[in-house]
Structure 1
Amino acid sequence: MAASSLLLLIDDIAAVLDDVALLSKAAAKQTTGVLGDDLALNAQQVSGVAADRELPVVWAVAKGSFKNKAILVPAALAISAWAPWAVTPLLMVGGAYLCFEGFEKLAHKYLHSAEDLAADQAALSQAALDAQQDLLAFEADKVRGAIRTDFILSAEIIAITLGTVSAAAFSTQVLVLSGIAVLMTVGVYGLVAGIVKLDDAGLYLSRHEGSFNQKIGRLLLVAAPWLMKALAVAGTAAMFLVGGGILAHGLPFLHELPAQLAQVLGPLGGLASLLSSGLVGVVAGALVLAGVTLAQRLRGAFAKG
Structure 2
Amino acid sequence: MPSGLVALLDDVAAITKLAAASLDDVAAATGKAGSKAMGVILDDAAVTPRYVTGVTPDRELPIIGRIALGSVRNKLLILLPAALLMSAFAPWLVTPLLMLGGCYLCFEGAEKVFEVISGHHAEEAVAAEAADAATVEKETVSGAVRTDLILSAEIMAIALADVAAASIVTQAIVLVLVSLAITAGVYGAVGLIVKMDDIGLHLARRDAAPVRAIGRALVTGMPIVMRALAIIGTAAMIWVGGGILVHGLEAFGVSGPAHVAHAFSAAGAGLPVIGGAASWVAGAAFSGIVGLVAGGVIVAGMHLIAALRGRSNHAGH
* Shorter-chain TM-score above 0.5: yes
- Say yes or no: does 1:79 pair with 2:71: no
Q: Describe how 1:54-203 pairs up with structure 2 within 5 A.
A: 54-70=60-76, 71-111=78-118, 117-118=122-123, 120-127=124-131, 134-203=132-201
Alpha-carbon separation, structure 1, partners of 2:97 and 2:17: 38
Task: Give deviations 1:48-77, integer Å, cap 9, x for gaps.
Answer: 211111111111111101110111111101
**1:40/1:303 CA distance change after superposition, 3 Å:** same
CA pair 89-135 structure 1, distance change in 2 beyond 3 A: same
For 1:137-174, what per-residue CA distance to the aligned partner results, in whole angstroms no more than 9, with x for missing partners? Answer: 11111111111111110000000000000011222111
Give 1:124 deviation, angstroms. 3.5
Q: Structure 2 matches for 1:1-305, cutoff 5 A?
A: 2-70=8-76, 71-111=78-118, 117-118=122-123, 120-127=124-131, 134-252=132-250, 254-260=254-260, 267-268=267-268, 270=279, 272-304=282-314, 305=316
Residue in structure 2 matched with residue 131 of structure 1 by the alignment? none
Give the match's secondary structure for 1:177. Answer: helix
**8 Å Cα contact 2:264/2:286 also seen in 1:** no
Provide, for residues 231-289 of structure 1, a one-character-per-residue CA deviation record: whole Å limited to 9, x for no partner.
11211121121111110111136523354466689843645533331221111111111
Letter in structure 1 aligned against 2:256: E
Deviation at 1:110?
4.1
- Counting aligned pairs with the same residue, the percent is 45
Unmatched runs of 5 consecutive residues or more in structure 2? 1-6, 270-278
Inter-partner Cα distance in structure 1 for 2:16 and 2:261: 53
1:130 alignment partner in structure 2: none
Tell me: CA distance 1:117–1:222, structure 2 relative to 1, closer, same or farther (3 Å): closer
CA RMSD of aligned residues (A): 2.2
Q: CA deviation at 1:303?
A: 3.1
* TM superposition shift of 1:86: 0.6
CA contact (8 A) 2:102 2:241 kept: yes
Structure 1, unaligned stretches of length 5 or more? 128-133
Task: Please report how far the alpha carbon of residue 25 of structure 1 lies from its aligned counterpart in structure 2 after TM superposition.
Answer: 1.5
- With 265-274 and 226-235 compared, the bigger mean Cα shift is at 265-274
Amino acid at match of 2:148: D
- The CA distance in 1 between the partners of 2:290 and 2:79, in whole Å, is 26
How many correspondences in the alignment? 296
Structure 1 contact 62–185 (Cα < 8 Å) conserved: yes
TM-score by length of 1: 0.90
* Contact in 2 for aligned 1:69/1:181 (Cα 8 Å): yes
For 2:79 and 2:95, the matched residues in 1 are separated by 14
Q: Distance in 1 between matches of 2:115 and 2:82?
A: 34
Secondary structure of the 2:299 match is: helix
**How far apart in 1 are the matches of 2:157 and 2:68?**
20
TM-score w.r.t. length of structure 2: 0.86
The 2-side partners of 1:26 and 1:245 are apart by 21
